[in-house]
Amino acid sequence: MSVSRGVTVRVPAKVNVRLAVGGARPDGYHDLANVFLAVGLYDEVTVAEAAAPAVTCEGPGADQVPLDRTNLAVRAAELLAARHGITPNVHLHIRKDIPVAGGMAGGSADGAGALLACDALWGCGSSREELLSLCAELGSDVPFSLVGGAALGTGRGELLTPLEVGGAFHWVFAMADGGLSTPAVYAEFDRLNRGTEVPPPAAPPALLEALRTGDTAGLADALGNDLQPAALSLRPSLAATLAAGTEAGALAGLVSGSGPTTAFLVKDAEAAESVAAALRASGTCREARPALAPAPGATVVAGG
């Protein structure tokens, strides 16, 4: 399906190269030290004027994407329209390539994409700060989907400090069958940590230095995800995927965010192809895809 005229925005997926999770806050969120890295797998959101609001979606997992007002792209259009006194009569079309409920911020990407596309379509001229504030209202991961590159997210992950990246990193992503619910994974984190003192979350200096200098081996040594035990507890089969990737020669592997996608850092493009092939042959995942990082944030690619 295609939308004939309008504005198209391309938005990257993310991997959390270090996701440090603190204790549960009174508002139900967790304080984070969340080192985001945008990766070259993209959703595209196209918006065009229409007689009435509509949303359509195509691509892998499109049948699991809600086509009602809970869709983050719809919520983004409604939020921006309300701020500007506009009636959001737009057709939103989402071309998905980011796995749905995969821990790679696919819904957040669509939210950020719809916001930027509607801002251009309606000529709102929102500043970066205004867009970032609307993104934070939509979800903790949404601001990063807008900015891309690499950033440290504090608070619930929405307060971003851009990070310097000194080179390209090669990754392989192993997509699982079905998704994992982000709130369920955080609840499992709380259950597993009950009765223990969860330390304040922090990003290790060695990891930030590896990003800054483009040091793949250094980054591999410093990767970490505090949600990984919770994701493995809810989906024990991910241990076999992680083992298959590292046995195939990945420098390191981890669960991406809340999972169930697993992410493997590899030496170069050749290693990415061979690790992806081995993961596919292992039968421990639905699909394996090489991708480069960092990737740019939400970008208008047509119209606007």
Ligand X SMILES: C[C@](O)(CO)[C@H](O)COP(=O)(O)OP(=O)(O)OC[C@H]1O[C@@H](n2ccc(N)nc2=O)[C@H](O)[C@@H]1O
Catalytic (active-site) positions: 14, 141
Per-residue contact string for residues 158-187; x = within reach of ligand ATP by CB under 6 A: ---------------------x--x-----
Please say whether the beta carbons of 291 and 201 come within 8 A: no
* Binder of ligand X out of 8, 258, 261, 262 (CB under 6 A): 258
Question: Which CB atom, from 6 or from 179, has the smaller least distance to ligand X?
Answer: 179
Residue 228 interacting with ligand X (CB under 6 A): no
List b or e across 169-205, with b for residues whose CB sees 16 or more CB atoms inside 10 angstroms: bbbbbbbbeebbebeebbebbeeebeeeebeebebee
Q: What are the backbone dihedrals phi and psi of residue 189, each rounded to the nearest 5 degrees, phi first? A: -55, -45
Distant-in-sequence, close-in-space partners of 261: CB < 8 Å, separation ≥ 6 = 99, 102, 103, 104, 173, 174, 175, 176, 255
How far is CA 257 from each of CA 18, 36, 55, rounded to the nearest angstrom?
9, 10, 27
* Binder of ligand ATP out of 3, 9, 65, 251 (CB under 6 A): 65
User: Which run of H or E residues covers position 157?
Assistant: none
How far is CA 64 from each of CA 46, 177, 233, rounded to the nearest angstrom?
19, 12, 23
* Binder of ligand ATP out of 28, 66, 249, 283 (CB under 6 A): 66
- Stretch 78-107 residues interacting with ligand ATP (CB under 6 A): 94, 100-107
Residue 46 interacting with ligand ATP (CB under 6 A): no
C-alpha–C-alpha distance, residues 164 and 213, integer Å: 8
Strand ranges, E, within 138-214: 150-154, 159-162, 169-175
Residue 226 interacting with ligand ATP (CB under 6 A): no
The answer to the question of whether 40 is labelled as a binding residue is no
The answer to the question of whether 108 is labelled as a binding residue is yes
The answer to the question of whether 6 is labelled as a binding residue is no
Residue 19 interacting with ligand X (CB under 6 A): yes
* Binder of ligand X out of 7, 11, 17, 32 (CB under 6 A): 32
| 70 burial type by CB count under 10 A (0-12 exposed, 13-18 middle, 19+ buried) | exposed
Residue 183 interacting with ligand X (CB under 6 A): yes
Residue 141 interacting with ligand X (CB under 6 A): yes
Residue 225 interacting with ligand X (CB under 6 A): no
Residues found near ligand X in the complex (CB under 6 A): 16, 19, 28-30, 32, 34, 105, 108, 139-141, 156-157, 182-183, 186, 257-258
Residues contributing to the annotated binding site for ATP: 99-109
Residues found near ligand ATP in the complex (CB under 6 A): 65-66, 70-73, 94, 100-108, 110, 141, 179, 182, 257-258
